[in-house]
């Protein structure tokens, strides 16, 4: 099936930079370049760049765009204003998670004659088709126009303590007025390569690494030029492997592993996204209200393993020798030097300090419930 994999505009550039390519959600993507741990450390200590052009970017336009989308998500979208963004989830009727996404409020952009609201949605590659159909089905009757904002464009994540400074120096943009989760369209200038200079870039101070940084959406030529220039200036290209260890240290969920259509945000420890105090109704609200009142029977927690073996997706979680739950993600944390995991456990085993075990190749390896995130930047 390798021939049917989609390729991002940076596919060739990634290969040229030494990437090992793997299939991921229908795309051929770099899993690592020089080395996973090396890339991980570069992001924690300096700066790294990821090709995330496989992710979906949808544009929703129309009067009352937010009111319409509100019916599909449990987070109060009116807590953000133009230029701000929020992380949230799309729910099904059972309160299960269809996808997780970031909603960017674009206000009323000039090119819509100021007449229509615009939202951008960045969604998971593996859910893009289903999300698009779901949004069309639910939002087109409300008069919204849904389009693919990415097309053959490039989506980059520039992450790490030096990320902001590097982009400011390179493209002569001032990101000081761009707090976390804010976004704006910039014109790249300064020493930006010819193909990128003058290009317009959607820049958001968001990411999936637990570090400061930005995500950028550019057209194909500008994106390729910016990638090449960042690498030429020593920014470390990073693959999906480092992306996974970085997000897991920050205890950020991976859709399809840590949550799916059978888990609610309350079970997935995403209660902070559920704003039941708002009056608006949304799909799945009844289930979440019931769970909120009665409590959930299982919940996602962080685990630290005593030994070096990694508790991987699907491994059983044991309490006093009985299987009580399941690991959803696990890795060796390069920053902490410990094996960490996310797992669903019974509600009465979620308190930090609870002693559990994970069955790894037939052996019960001691594990302890710990606070999330595993890593928080200073």
Size of the site for other proteins (CB under 8 A): 17
Residues between 320 and 349 with contacts to other proteins, criterion CB under 8 A: 331-332, 334, 339
Say whether residue 14 binds other proteins (CB under 8 A): no
Using CA atoms, how far apart are residues 360 and 312, in angstroms rounded to an integer?
8
Residues between 132 and 191 with contacts to other proteins, criterion CB under 8 A: none
> Which two tokens mark 287?
């289930």
Using CA atoms, how far apart are residues 343 and 345, in angstroms rounded to an integer?
6
Strand 236-238 to strand 48-51: parallel, antiparallel, or no bridges (unpaired)?
parallel
As measured in angstroms, the least distance from the Cβ of 340 to other proteins is 11
Using CA atoms, how far apart are residues 246 and 249, in angstroms rounded to an integer?
5
320 by DSSP, 3-state: which? coil
Identify which of residues 86 and 257 has a Cβ nearer to other proteins in the complex. Answer: 257
Using CA atoms, how far apart are residues 131 and 124, in angstroms rounded to an integer?
9
Strand partners, 240: none
Using CA atoms, how far apart are residues 255 and 223, in angstroms rounded to an integer?
26
Choosing from 7, 15, 275, 312, the residue that interacts with other proteins (CB under 8 A) is 312
As measured in angstroms, the least distance from the Cβ of 360 to other proteins is 9
Identify which of residues 82 and 314 has a Cβ nearer to other proteins in the complex. Answer: 314
Answer yes or no: are the C-beta atoms of 280 and 76 closer than 8 Å. Answer: yes
Contact window for other proteins (CB under 8 A) among 35-43, 136-144, 189-197, 219-227: 35-43
Measuring CA to CA, which residue among 269, 164, 224 is closest to residue 12? 224
Identify which of residues 26 and 307 has a Cβ nearer to other proteins in the complex. Answer: 307
Taking CA atoms, 284 is separated from 76, 95, 103, 261, 287, in Å, by 14, 4, 19, 11, 6
Strand partners, 338: 333
As measured in angstroms, the least distance from the Cβ of 323 to other proteins is 20
Identify which of residues 241 and 302 has a Cβ nearer to other proteins in the complex. Answer: 241
> Which two tokens mark 184?
């704006």
CB atoms within 10 A of CB 71: 15
Contact window for other proteins (CB under 8 A) among 4-12, 30-38, 220-228, 316-324: 30-38
Identify which of residues 154 and 360 has a Cβ nearer to other proteins in the complex. Answer: 360
Residue with tokens 């133009």, as numbered in its chain: 82
Choosing from 2, 353, 361, 362, the residue that interacts with other proteins (CB under 8 A) is 361
Identify which of residues 24 and 87 has a Cβ nearer to other proteins in the complex. Answer: 24
Choosing from 31, 71, 142, 145, the residue that interacts with other proteins (CB under 8 A) is 31
* C-alpha radius of gyration, the chain, whole number: 21
283 by DSSP, 3-state: which? coil
Residues between 250 and 309 with contacts to other proteins, criterion CB under 8 A: 307-309
| Helices first, then strands: H and E counts in the chain | 8, 19
Identify which of residues 18 and 179 has a Cβ nearer to other proteins in the complex. Answer: 18
Say whether residue 238 binds other proteins (CB under 8 A): no
Say whether residue 34 binds other proteins (CB under 8 A): no
Identify which of residues 308 and 371 has a Cβ nearer to other proteins in the complex. Answer: 308
Identify which of residues 24 and 332 has a Cβ nearer to other proteins in the complex. Answer: 332
Say whether residue 48 binds other proteins (CB under 8 A): no
Say whether residue 35 binds other proteins (CB under 8 A): yes
List of residues contacting other proteins (CB under 8 A): 31-32, 35-37, 241, 245, 307-310, 312, 331-332, 334, 339, 361
């Amino acid at each position: 099936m390798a021939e049917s994999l989609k390729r991002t505009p940076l596919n060739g550039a990634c290969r040229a930079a030494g990437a090992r390519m793997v299939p991921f959600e229908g795309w051929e993507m770099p899993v690592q370049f020089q080395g996973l741990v090396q890339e991980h450390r570069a992001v924690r200590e300096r700066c790294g760049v990821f090709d995330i052009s496989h992710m979906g970017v949808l544009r929703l336009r129309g009067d009352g765009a937010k009111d319409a989308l509100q019916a599909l998500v449990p987070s109060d979208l009116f807590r953000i204003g133009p230029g701000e963004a929020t992380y949230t989830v799309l729910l099904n009727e059972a309160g299960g998670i269809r996808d997780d996404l970031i909603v960017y409020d674009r206000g009323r952009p000039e090119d819509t004659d100021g007449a229509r609201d615009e939202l951008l949605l960045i969604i998971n590659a593996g859910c893009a088709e289903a999300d698009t159909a779901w949004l069309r089905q639910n939002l087109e009757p409300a008069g919204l126009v849904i389009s693919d904002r990415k097309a053959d464009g490039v989506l980059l994540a520039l992450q790490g303590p030096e990320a902001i400074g590097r982009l400011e120096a390179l493209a002569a943009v001032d990101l000081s007025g761009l707090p976390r989760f804010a976004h704006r369209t910039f014109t790249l200038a300064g020493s930006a390569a010819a193909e990128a200079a003058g290009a317009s870039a959607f820049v958001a101070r968001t990411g999936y690494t637990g570090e400061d940084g930005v995500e950028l959406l550019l057209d194909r030529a500008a994106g390729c030029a910016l990638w090449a220039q960042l690498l030429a200036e020593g920014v470390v290209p990073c693959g999906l492997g480092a992306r996974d260890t970085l997000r897991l240290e920050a205890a950020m969920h991976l859709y399809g592993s840590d949550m799916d259509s059978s888990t609610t945000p309350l079970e997935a420890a995403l209660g902070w996204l559920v704003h039941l105090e708002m009056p608006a109704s949304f799909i799945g609200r009844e289930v979440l209200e019931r769970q909120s009142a009665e409590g959930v029977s299982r919940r996602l927690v962080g685990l630290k393993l005593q030994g070096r073996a990694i508790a991987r997706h699907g491994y059983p979680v044991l309490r006093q020798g009985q299987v009580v739950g399941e690991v959803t993600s696990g890795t060796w944390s390069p920053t902490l030097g410990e094996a960490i995991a996310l797992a669903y456990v019974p509600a009465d085993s979620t308190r930090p300090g609870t002693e559990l075990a994970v069955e790894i190749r037939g052996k019960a390896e001691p594990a302890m419930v710990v606070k999330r995130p595993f890593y928080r930047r200073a």
